Structure 1
């Protein structure tokens, strides 16, 4: 059995090596393809007004993404109760208010709980908020000793001291560089974050996250058109927004959906499916997020579905190595966020996420924003590195790698000050 396991693991590693060794990073090797027109319906009708977009085109695009990419949520699941686990009006050396709020959901005889860590300015007004998931627990985004360590399953990470899939004190503050808490607070915004593994553990197992609360009798995994993990995480962001509508310290009409990498894919889908989000930020979201799939540059649909089969619905597998069959592309996902402000950001050293594809996606989504009289990425010429374009649809490519930096947050805050706050 051990020999068989080793053999299977070796085949998996070999397949990943082969996939990455065949990855295209040469712009001249990008295949020619037709950009699906966001303003042309599937039956060939040209959309010429906001009314037609909202009544005809937007619903059919949303339905396609639901049924064939991220998966549809089988039915609604609302907050059963919420509990303020801890709060302090003099957190971070007296600079902020801190709340740790647990949301509870019950169905099918099962219970799901997840905790939102919230920092707010001490200004006694309703605050706009950046909402985003973190990868290794709320305690990793700050050195604050009062932040509760999650007991949920986590991916092992030797550098974070995570063994046996268990989060510990050793990882406290390991990701402070990704969360510019002081900058956010100083600008008059709150920050809310959730450990994504509490909503759905990031592994190909649909028995231990929110999915099981909505299964039919004898069901043990989603149906081919039903939600994968990205849709589940997006659902969790929307339920956090439900809570914010009850919190007198938060302006729920000014909540910005933020995410990095796979959680950038999540923030985009959350913003597309829940129009209550006042703005959306995609940070290095790449394949299945902001970048154009049909370019086949960097990570491809075949690779992402093989490595992370639980992220999308099973129907999405039909487009692996078959991107040309897609009647849509990711710029149409971005267009679903219109007319709300959208920020797409790339990193020069993150070719796996295809920065040019992310930029072009923002450009091609702009024509929908133009319907609303909003300005976006009007040119096909990428800006120089570290020279952002700030409009209702904004974009920058910065120096550095796949990460979130102070440079990113500086620009998100400037953008939000103009287009959201």
Structure 2
């Protein structure tokens, strides 16, 4: 483990519930105040010990909730150190190490420019970034835009956030050999550093935030920063958001292989950029990844866990299904897998994904993304309104998470470890209390995101709808199934069914009966196994989610063709 990372940590916002753990104080969000979910420090779990890298040969996605010692986390407080394990393994095998904050970071912030000066161990380097302020008086939140293309900067500024134009190539140049890397990062840590460009770019983002924090906050807010970029810079934005917990909103665009898409998936997805190509095209990935280009099953991590590292902070992943090279099917699996971490932390509304776009031009500014992008900025950077909480998966590139995992998503209470006391309100509005030595009691069912009538605008007629109230109880009301339309568009929609156990003992399996209206047909279904695609169909549990504890619930989802109205009817739920 990196002993040099051990230092005190703290969270920024008072809307968190303190949970006293053995390793320190972890804070868990107690309300839906999305903008306060970022931390006050770059790496909140730096004091967590991490063991050696395990040898593995797992063709499925690793379990985000199982520690290196084989035990599973059981409370939200446990995620802090589990996240630290994922971070460390990702550094060792995928990206290379991101050093902690250098001994000296200084600079200036003006209305048009940020300068960054770094000194560490007798070496120094510097770089700068442009600033474009929105209208109105400051201080302003800001979105750091990597690379200068593909990001809708007009939408960002009109939403009320500044744009920081950051050239990552000043920090880590492309076109260099792995033994002679160049740029501000490598001037400090050596041209033969095993850290890849994506992590170097991430380090540069963190140093910009350092300067904003020390500037006094008169122009830019230190605690309201987002990051975005497209293509290779989407890869960089994804890594930056995962490895700096001060970033409140991460928005990678069309990031492709080495970005959001699962590495195990792109290795099998027809037309997607191969791992060896992504490793060899530029030194984006760490040198150690060379061992895994032909063996992704040997990786102890995958990108669904990197998505999980961003939780519970804001995340909006944008992908292009029209360019096979970008691996959007594997991207949807990463988003769906990472969303399970958000769900376990009670923050499912804070992740959004959108690949259902009509324009296939790489890194185009798309009208479909503008509204959820601005809604995300308002929610996470301006603390105004609710996040979009939308999954719009293109039917042509819809991945199936159930094919990639053999693990279940735990229901994590707010309580900490032994000797912990928690008092607060969870995301469903249920009050949870505990006394010393007790875990949190109360309802621990999962959270369904969206409220009746929430609307996401994009192209004409795109609508996100909340719960429809379509519920059917099974015999003795033990098994209950509830349907909701997550979102809809011209010629298709996405649905979700929550299966709840209302009995006094665990269900060992479940089957839901549904009737689809004329013209409706399921194109892709995840977290369940369906018989039939139109008319009367049945959906039974996947091998990993049939065991539903008393008062617990699981969900399955699907993308279907046809009009969303009338909604599919739930006709039965049996266990």
TM-score (norm 1): 0.69
1:63-83 alpha-carbon deviations (Å, 9 max, x no partner):
001111111135542554324
SS at match of 2:246: coil
Equivalent positions of 1:9-408 (< 5 A) are: 33-55=59-81, 57-74=82-99, 76-77=101-102, 80-83=105-108, 98-107=111-120, 110-134=123-147, 175=149, 178-205=150-177, 206-215=180-189, 220-222=191-193, 226-245=194-213, 246=215, 247-295=217-265, 296=267, 297=269, 298-308=272-282, 310-375=283-348, 391-397=349-355, 398-399=357-358, 400-407=360-367, 408=369
Moved more, 285-294 or 37-46: 37-46
Kept in 2, the 8 Å contact 1:264–1:285? The answer is: yes
Kept in 1, the 8 Å contact 2:321–2:329? The answer is: no
- The 2-side partners of 1:392 and 1:73 are apart by 26
Q: How many residues align?
A: 314
- The 2-side partners of 1:411 and 1:180 are apart by 12
Q: How far apart are 1:203 and its partner, in Å?
A: 2.1
Describe the shift of the 1:127–1:329 C-alpha distance in structure 2 as closer, same or farther (beyond 3 A). Answer: same
Describe the shift of the 1:248–1:79 C-alpha distance in structure 2 as closer, same or farther (beyond 3 A). Answer: farther
Q: Which runs of 5+ in 1 are unaligned?
A: 1-31, 88-97, 135-140, 142-174, 376-390
Kept in 1, the 8 Å contact 2:249–2:381? The answer is: yes
TM-score (norm 2): 0.52
Q: How far apart are 1:371 and its partner, in Å?
A: 2.2
Kept in 2, the 8 Å contact 1:228–1:311? The answer is: yes
SS at match of 1:278: strand
Q: How far apart are 1:249 and its partner, in Å?
A: 1.5
Higher relative contact order (CA 8 A, sep 6+): 1
Q: Relative to total residues, which structure has the larger helix share, 1 or 2?
A: 1
Partner of 1:172: none
Partner of 1:168: none
1:119-158 alpha-carbon deviations (Å, 9 max, x no partner):
1123223212111211xxxxxx5xxxxxxxxxxxxxxxxx
- The 2-side partners of 1:307 and 1:363 are apart by 28
SS at match of 2:258: coil
Q: How far apart are 1:363 and its partner, in Å?
A: 0.7
Please say if 1:417 is aligned against 2:378: yes
Query: How large is the Cα RMSD of the aligned pairs?
Result: 2.2
- The 1-side partners of 2:101 and 2:187 are apart by 11
SS at match of 2:202: helix
Q: How far apart are 1:110 and its partner, in Å?
A: 4.9
Q: How far apart are 1:214 and its partner, in Å?
A: 3.2
Kept in 1, the 8 Å contact 2:230–2:363? The answer is: yes
Q: Relative to total residues, which structure has the larger strand share, 1 or 2?
A: 2
- The 1-side partners of 2:103 and 2:347 are apart by 34
- The 1-side partners of 2:380 and 2:101 are apart by 31
Q: Which runs of 5+ in 2 are unaligned?
A: 1-57, 383-575
1:270-309 alpha-carbon deviations (Å, 9 max, x no partner):
122211001111111121211011122201212211222x
1:52-101 alpha-carbon deviations (Å, 9 max, x no partner):
1112x1111110011111111355425543246xx6xxxxxxxxxx4122
